[in-house]
């Protein structure tokens, strides 16, 4: 076997925090050979990102690395930033998760692309520009000659990620480290970016290190895989072998963590909870004092939706398809036109005050478990806020009792209700958000990507929890997600949305097994679902 | 917090009462040595300013005509070389000549010699002086033309010296510190209450309400501050309370802008949307969600606002628009000290040191608070 390009031996990363020293990476050995794709898999907090950040010398200022990282025999740990710059940015490059923030919004992409070329490659300005156009062509940005003078905000998320890749490729790197490069992107875009990466690898012969939590990606692209848990590599090996016979229980759990099972159909003849017809939402860009409307964006275009008690409607689509807007529009949180009936009442004629008593029946759970809980309130206060509004005469003691009850219902320790949100993990926070919705005993809950920000194994628990709650309370769900695996596990009926319109709707089974539209087929193919659980049966519970 | 450093589950197990963000910030603040030292020093200064004037033995407005502009000293006044000329001065008022002046501890034995018999009532002049107590005649000779008198010496300490009117500068500095700190805190409090409520309301309502409210702020901004103060002085006369109103009424504008900016970003947070979805009224959202989350920057700004207000007050007092005699403030004292810089440096030095120390402390505390409340910024 040849000498690895990058050899990591006994790497340890520590952080000095307010609570003492925290060891994020505890002695990791990783080899990256020339021209191979290595995946590092693990859940958030497993230290997978910090391992690679320490290789690049990009640790936060309160962290430091020990051990050895050798790039072609050259030790990188303990190198001064100036010396390290001979390697990073040219031979070792990195792309990040968030293409929205990794490009400087003040500079044209051409200038940002030229920067590594002039500093590391020593090219002149005109040469650098030529090379930049070449690179944009390489990452398949349409019309690169014109695009090179765009600002980052003029590009879509996928295009930005392509620019980031072009930047990383600028000096023909040996190793490209991709830290969750596609997590922030839509599934179809994600598939195209991954395709591009594997294609580039074949042409340029570099090594790629994939840091990801998405096992679908790993299975498709990685030759070898390292599984990390709490700062240690628990298992490694050829990807196919690893997936075929995982040895470590953690790996088994990860592979097993795909949400499985199907929802049992709602009882026939259940009462209609929400019936929305011809919903339209327009966003007008206004200018000037008295708001002359200059541009109208139709975010939701003539969409109808109805849910019965105990039923789940899955709304699927990419970002910008109007699915979240639709969810808020039916709850009257956004100005919309059309008709919405909740049980036997028309909602559209009601004003803000008129809606207030109905709010307790119509709840919303958000995607981001970090942003949706006020950081200055205790978990108990957050959960019981709805009671303050809808049952203002309830005593403090009674509210506290209800909070404890709600905590139990979402399977959180009731004793934790005096803690603050930042003391909980992502999955626990999402449980708090669900408890906040459930404490009012709603009839309809709009779930706006409730599992997207969570690790797979946590997702599975949340999906189970949602399913149980639905069963016990006969809830109606509108489940908004771009994650087809989760939608499949929860929904009776699925609507596929694109640019504000419904392109296809049908039962979950029909949509996944007999998709009619190309767009639906693309979505399903891009989510790598078709390889998994070919004949899953409804969950027997 | 960095990824990978997320609190592991085992940390979450024992404490049932959660540590709020405030508690964590306090923990970080305690570790900041400069901030803690500043808090201790400032606390000491504040205590000294409040209780000091009671302990110095000099009322802040007591005038010692015999001790005009005496330099700061750790020793008691009168000094040995002051006794003789002063005894002679008093003796001449008694219409006698002082001979054989002998200092015996806290007493002086002096022989007064007059051409005519000395009127003993005139001995009261000794007591009227700031240096001596009541004189007691021990011997009379020559039909009252010659008199041996025992005069007790009144010992006075002027650690910071005295001012042009002969008032104890230490007491006056402490009194001035009282006034300056009170104005600083109260005006800041006024500014913050108005600014936070106004800014949060404006930011949260948004749209046209925001537009109108912020333009009103702009209009107030455009008024020159000094002109505004002079106008208030003309309308209401010189008044201590007026200072708070004047300063507070101007400083809340900054606060309102800061809070509005914070609110604009908080408004888009999902927890605010979640509250809207729960049906919480606007007032409840502003009170429970918006304001508590703006308080971090507000607290920091507050510690920077207090010194700013103290400086403003000093500036106004320096111009003569502020606090009136015999009441005083650091600005007044520094202004007087500046006038007397040639003969009496101490009059400038001590009030300035006090002001500078207070300002330094407040700034260090502000820095410490910023680091403690927003650890990401470090």
Predicted pLDDT at B5 = 39
- How is chain A split into domains, by residue range? 6-256, 271-349+444-452+476-541
Q: Are B269 and A371 in contact (CB under 8 A)?
A: yes
Q: Which residues of A touch B24 (CB under 8 A)?
A: 18
Q: Which of A50, A359, A375 sits opposite B277 (nearest CB)?
A: A359
Note whether A331 contacts B277, CB cutoff 8 Å. Answer: yes
Alpha-carbon gap: B207 to the closest alpha carbon of chain A (Å): 10
Q: How far is CA B162 from CA A45, A90, B60, B61, B350, in A?
A: 66, 72, 11, 11, 11
Whether the per-residue pLDDT at A369 is higher than 60: the answer is: yes
Comparing CA positions, the residue from A464, A467, A488 lying closest to residue A477 is A467
A376–B293: do the CB atoms touch at under 8 Å? yes
Identify all chain B residues contacting A45, using CB atoms and an 8 Å cutoff.
Answer: 3-4, 6, 8
Spatial contact of B174 and B235, defined as CB atoms under 8 Å apart: no
Backbone angles phi, psi at A287, to 5 degrees: -140, 150
Considering only residues A486 and B135, tell me which one the structure prediction assigns the higher pLDDT. Answer: A486
Q: Which CATH class is domain A6-256?
A: alpha beta
Partner residue opposite B277 with nearest CB, options A17, A50, A363 = A363
List, in sequence order, the alpha helices (H) in A376-455.
379-390, 396-409, 426-438
Closest Cβ opposite residue B21 in set A46, A373, A376: A376
Q: Measured on CA atoms in the order B57, B63, B64, B67, is the torsion positive or negative?
A: positive
Cβ distance of A289 and B211 shorter than 8 Å: yes
Contacts with A64 (C-beta within 8 Å, 6 or more apart), sequence order: A13, A14
Which whole number is the average pLDDT over B37-60? 84
Please give the Cα distance from B90 to B78 (Å, whole number): 14
| CB pair distance less than 8 Å for B21 and A375 | yes
CA B34 to CA B30: how far, in whole Å?
10
The per-residue pLDDT for A288 is 54
Find which of A134-143, A258-267, B24-33, B77-86 is predicted with most confidence, using mean pLDDT: A134-143
Read off the pLDDT band of B7 (50, 70, 90).
Answer: very low
Residue A292: the pLDDT is 61
pLDDT tens for each residue of A178-217 = 888 777 677 777 888 888 888 888 888 888 998 888 777 7
Cβ distance of A45 and B19 shorter than 8 Å: no
Region B45-72 average pLDDT: 80
> What number of residues does chain B have?
378
Chain A residues in contact with B269 by the CB 8 A cut-off are 371-372, 374
Residue of A nearest to B273 (CA): A372
Q: Rounded mean pLDDT of B358-365?
A: 86
Interchain CB contact of B278 with A (< 8 Å): yes
Chain A: give the shortest CA distance to residue B53, in Å: 42
What pLDDT does residue A172 have? 81
CA separation for the pair A81, A95 (Å, rounded): 19
Order across the sheet with A207-212: list the strands: A92-95, A175-179, A207-212, A37-41, A224-229, A232-238
Lowest mean pLDDT among A243-252, A289-298, B210-219, B323-332: A289-298
Residues of B in contact with A356 (CB under 8 A): 279, 281
pLDDT at B19: 64
> What is the Cα–Cα distance from B249 to B198, expressed in whole angstroms?
12
pLDDT of res. B11: 38
The helix or strand, by DSSP H or E, that contains position A39, with its residue range, turns out to be strand A37-41
H helix intervals, A415-516: 426-438, 456-473, 484-490, 508-513
| CB-based contact, B207 to chain A, within 8 Å | no
CB B147 within 8 A of CB B57: no
What does the pLDDT read at residue A531? 46
Assess whether pLDDT exceeds 70 at residue A99: no
Give the residue-averaged pLDDT of B46-62.
81
CB contact under 8 A, B2 and A24: yes
Give the relative orientation of helices B240-267 and B207-221 as an angle to the nearest 10 degrees.
150
Nearest CA in chain A to B4: A45
Give me the pLDDT at residue A293, please: 62
Q: Which residues of A touch B6 (CB under 8 A)?
A: 44-45, 425
> Average of pLDDT values for B62-70?
77
Strands (E), A215-370: 224-229, 232-238, 272-287, 292-308, 312-317, 337-342, 345-346, 362-365
Distance from CA of B363 to the nearest CA of A (A): 23
Question: B279 and A356: CB-CB below 8 Å?
Answer: yes
Query: What pLDDT shows up at residue A137?
Result: 86
Query: Two tokens at B367?
Result: 């820095």
Min Cα distance A46 → chain B (Å) is 6
pLDDT digits (tens, 9 = 90+) for A130-156: 888 888 888 888 888 888 888 888 887
How confident is the model at residue B341, as a pLDDT?
83
Mean pLDDT of B20-48: 82
**Chain B partners within 8 Å of A436 (Cβ):** 274, 278
Cα dihedral across residues B30, B34, B38, B40: positive or negative: positive
Residues of A in contact with B28 (CB under 8 A): 18
For the record, the structure tokens of A481 come out as: 């997600």
| pLDDT of res. A451 | 81
Cβ contact B20–A420 (<8 Å): yes
Residue A294's pLDDT is 63
Order the strands of the B107-113 sheet from edge to edge: B97-104, B107-113, B146-152, B136-141
Interface test with A, best of B22, B214, B274, B295 (most A CBs within 10 A): B274
Residue of B200, B266, B267, B271 to mutate, interface with A, max A Cβ within 10 Å: B271
Site from A423, A430, A433 to mutate, B interface, most B CB atoms within 10 angstroms: A423
pLDDT in the model for residue B375 = 52
Cα–Cα dist A258/A530, whole Å: 13
Give the whole-angstrom CA distance, residue A336 versus residue B43. Answer: 58
Phi-psi label, residue A86: left if phi above 0, alpha if psi -120 to 50, beta otherwise: alpha
- Taking all residues of chain A, what is their mean pLDDT, rounded to a whole number? 82
**With an 8 Å Cβ cutoff, are A371 and B271 in contact?**
yes
* Chain A residues close to B289, C-beta within 8 Å: 374
Q: Would you say A465 and A412 are in contact if contact means Cβ atoms under 8 Å apart?
A: no
- The answer to whether residue A540 scores a pLDDT higher than 70 is no
Q: What tokens appear for A521 in the block?
A: 């087929």
Q: What distance in Å separates the CA atoms of residue B324 and residue B317, rounded to the nearest whole number?
A: 8
Residue A461 CA: distances (Å) to CA of A21, A458, A464, A539, B278: 31, 5, 5, 14, 25
Whether residue B151 is predicted with pLDDT greater than 70 in this model: the reply is: yes
| Residue B229 pLDDT grade (very low, low, confident, very high; cuts 50, 70, 90) | confident
Contact B16 A415 (CB under 8 A): yes
Looking at beta carbons, which residues of chain B come within 8 Å of A58?
Answer: none
What chain A residue is nearest to B17 in terms of C-alpha separation?
A418
Nearest to B7 among A231, A374, A423 (CB): A423
In the 3-class helix/strand/coil scheme, how is chain B assigned residue by residue? CCCCCCCCHHHHHCCCCCCCHHHHHHHHHHCCHHHHHHHHHHHHHHHHHHHHHHHCCCCCCCCCHHHCCCCCCCCEECCHHHHHHHHHHHHHHCCCEEEEEEEECCEEEEEEECCCCCCHHHHHHHHHCCCECCCEEEEEEHHHCEEEEEEEECCEECCCCECCCCCEHHHHHHHHHHHHHHHHHHHHHHHHHHHHHHHHHHHHHCHHHHHHHHHHHHHHHCCCHHHHHHHHHHHHCCCHHHHHHHHHHHHHHHHHHHHHHHHHHHHCCHHHHHHHHHCCCHHHHHHHHHHHHHHHHHHHHHHHHHHHHHHHHHHHHHHCCCCCCCCCCHHHHHHHHHHCCCCCCHHHHHHHHHHHHHHHHHHHHHHHHHHHHCHHHC
Cβ atoms of residues A12 and A25 within 8 Å: yes
Lowest mean pLDDT segment, chosen from A380-394, B23-37, B113-127, B303-317: B113-127
Q: Of A92-96, A128-132, A502-506, B114-118, which gets the smallest average pLDDT? A: B114-118
Average of per-residue pLDDT values in chain B: 78
Is residue B18 reached through a cis peptide bond, with omega within 30 degrees of 0 on the bond before it?
no
User: Contact, A109 vs A135, CB < 8 A?
Assistant: no
Which class is A271-349+444-452+476-541 in CATH?
A: alpha beta
Higher model confidence: residue A536 or residue A345? A345
A-chain CB neighbours of B279 within 8 Å are: 355-357, 359-360, 386, 389-390
Q: What is the pTM of this model?
A: 0.72
pLDDT in tens, A33-89: 888 889 898 877 788 888 888 888 888 778 888 888 888 888 888 888 888 888 887
User: And the tokens for A264?
Assistant: 């049992």
Rounded Cα distance, A314 and A323, in Å: 10
CA distance B291 to chain A (A): 10
pLDDT classification of B269: cutoffs 50, 70, 90: confident
Q: What is the pLDDT of residues B168-220, one digit of tens each?
A: 888 888 888 888 888 888 888 888 888 889 998 998 888 888 889 999 999 88
For an interface test with B, give the residue of A19, A28, A376, A461 to mutate (most B CBs within 10 A): A376
Which structural domains are found in chain B, ordered by start?
20-58+162-377 (1.10.3720.10), 79-154 (3.30.1360)
Q: Which of A59, A58, A51 is nearest to A32 (CA)?
A: A51
Task: Select from A19, A44, A359 the Cβ nearest to the Cβ of B279.
Answer: A359
Cα three-residue angle A455-A456-A457, rounded to 5 degrees: 95
Q: Which residue has the higher pLDDT, B239 or B190?
A: B190
Given a cut of 70, whether residue B374 has pLDDT beyond it is: no
Cα angle for residues A92, A96, A99 (degrees, 5° grid): 130
Q: What backbone phi and psi angles, to 5 degrees, belong to B263?
A: -65, -40
């Amino acid at each position: 076997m040849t000498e690895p390009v990058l050899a990591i031996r006994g790497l340890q990363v520590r952080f000095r925090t307010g609570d003492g020293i925290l060891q994020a990476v505890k002695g990791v050995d990783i080899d990256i050979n020339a021209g191979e794709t290595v995946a590092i898999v693990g859940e958030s907090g497993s230290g997978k990102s910090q391992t690679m950040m320490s290789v690049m010398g990009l640790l936060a200022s309160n962290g430091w690395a020990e051990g050895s990282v050798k790039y072609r025999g050259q030790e990188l740990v303990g190198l001064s930033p100036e010396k390290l710059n001979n390697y990073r940015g040219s031979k070792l490059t990195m792309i990040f998760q968030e293409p929205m923030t990794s490009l400087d919004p003040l500079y044209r992409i051409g200038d940002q692309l030229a920067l590594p070329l002039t500093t590391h490659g020593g090219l002149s300005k005109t040469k650098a520009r030529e090379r930049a156009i070449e690179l944009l062509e390489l990452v398949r940005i349409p019309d690169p000659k014109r695009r090179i003078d765009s600002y980052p905000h003029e590009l879509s998320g996928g295009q930005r990620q392509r620019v980031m890749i072009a930047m990383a490729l600028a000096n023909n790197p040996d190793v490209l480290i991709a830290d969750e490069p596609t997590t922030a992107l839509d599934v179809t875009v994600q598939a195209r970016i991954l395709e591009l990466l594997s294609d580039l690898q074949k042409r340029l012969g570099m090594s790629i290190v994939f840091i990801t939590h998405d096992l679908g990606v790993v299975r498709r692209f990685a030759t070898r895989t390292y599984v990390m848990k709490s700062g240690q590599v628990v298992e490694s090996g050829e990807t196919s072998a690893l997936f075929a016979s995982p040895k470590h229980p953690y790996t088994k759990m990860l592979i097993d963590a795909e949400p499985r099972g199907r929802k049992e159909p709602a009882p026939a003849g259940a009462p209609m909870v929400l019936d929305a017809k011809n919903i339209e939402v327009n966003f007008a860009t206004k200018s000037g004092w008295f708001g002359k409307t200059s541009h109208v964006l139709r975010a939701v275009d003539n969409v109808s939706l109805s849910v019965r008690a105990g039923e789940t409607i899955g709304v699927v689509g990419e970002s910008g398809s109007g699915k979240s807007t639709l969810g808020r529009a039916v709850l009257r949180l956004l100005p919309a036109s059309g008709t919405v009936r909740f049980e036997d009442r028309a909602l559209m004629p009601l004003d803000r005050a008129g809606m207030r008593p109905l709010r307790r029946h119509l709840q919303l759970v958000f995607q981001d478990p970090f942003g949706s809980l006020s950081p200055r309130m205790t978990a108990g206060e957050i959960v019981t806020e709805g009671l303050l509004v809808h049952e203002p005469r309830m005593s403090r003691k009674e509210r506290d009792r209800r909070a404890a009850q709600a905590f139990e219902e979402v399977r959180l320790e009731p004793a934790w209700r005096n803690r603050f949100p930042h003391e909980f993990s992502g999955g626990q926070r999402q449980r708090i958000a669900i408890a906040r919705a459930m404490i009012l005993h709603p009839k309809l809950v709009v779930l706006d990507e409730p599992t997207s920000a969570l690790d797979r194994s946590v997702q599975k628990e949340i999906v189970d929890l949602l399913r149980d709650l639905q069963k016990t309370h006969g809830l109606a769900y509108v489940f908004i997600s771009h994650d087809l695996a989760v939608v499949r596990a929860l929904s009776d009926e699925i609507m596929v949305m694109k640019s504000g319109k419904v392109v296809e709707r049908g039962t979950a089974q029909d949509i996944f097994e007999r998709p009619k539209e190309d767009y639906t087929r693309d979505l399903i193919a891009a989510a790598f679902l078709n390889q998994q659980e070919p004949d899953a049966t409804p969950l027997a519970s | 917090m960095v990824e990978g450093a997320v609190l592991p589950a085992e940390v979450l197990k024992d404490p049932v009462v959660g540590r709020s963000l405030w508690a964590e910030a306090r923990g970080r603040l305690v570790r900041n040595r400069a901030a803690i030292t500043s808090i201790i020093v400032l606390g000491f200064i504040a205590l000294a300013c409040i209780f000091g004037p009671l302990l110095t033995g000099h009322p802040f407005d007591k005038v010692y005509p015999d001790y005009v502009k005496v330099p700061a000293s750790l020793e008691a006044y009168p000094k040995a070389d002051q006794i003789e000329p002063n005894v002679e001065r008093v003796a001449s008022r008694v219409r006698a000549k002082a001979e054989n002046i002998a200092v015996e501890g806290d007493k002086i034995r002096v022989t007064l010699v007059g051409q005519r018999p000395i009127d003993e009532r005139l001995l009261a002049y000794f007591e009227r002086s700031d240096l001596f107590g009541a004189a007691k005649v021990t011997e009379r000779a020559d039909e009252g033309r010659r008199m041996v008198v025992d005069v007790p010496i009144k010992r006075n300490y002027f650690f910071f010296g005295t001012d042009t009117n002969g008032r104890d500068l230490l007491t006056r500095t402490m009194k001035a510190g009282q006034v300056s700190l009170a104005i600083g805190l109260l005006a800041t409090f006024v500014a913050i209450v108005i600014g936070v409520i106004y800014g949060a309301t404006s930011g949260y309502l948004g749209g046209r309400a925001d537009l109108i409210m912020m333009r009103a702020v702009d209009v107030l901004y455009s008024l020159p501050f000094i002109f505004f103060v002079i106008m208030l002085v003309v309308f209401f006369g010189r008044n201590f309370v007026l200072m708070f109103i004047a300063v507070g009424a101007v400083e809340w504008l900054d606060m309102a802008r800061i809070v509005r900016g914070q609110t604009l970003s908080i408004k888009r947070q999902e927890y605010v949307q979640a509250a809207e979805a729960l049906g919480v009224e606007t007032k409840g959202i502003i009170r429970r969600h918006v304001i508590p989350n703006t308080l971090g920057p507000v607290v920091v700004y507050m510690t920077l606002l207090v010194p700013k207000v103290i400086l403003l007050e000093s500036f106004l007092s320096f111009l003569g628009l502020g606090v009136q005699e015999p009441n005083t403030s650091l600005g007044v004292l520094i202004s007087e000290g500046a006038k007397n810089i040639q003969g009496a440096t101490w009059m400038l030095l001590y009030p300035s040191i006090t002001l500078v120390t207070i300002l330094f402390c407040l700034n260090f505390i502000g820095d410490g608070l910023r680091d403690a409340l927003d650890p990401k910024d470090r």
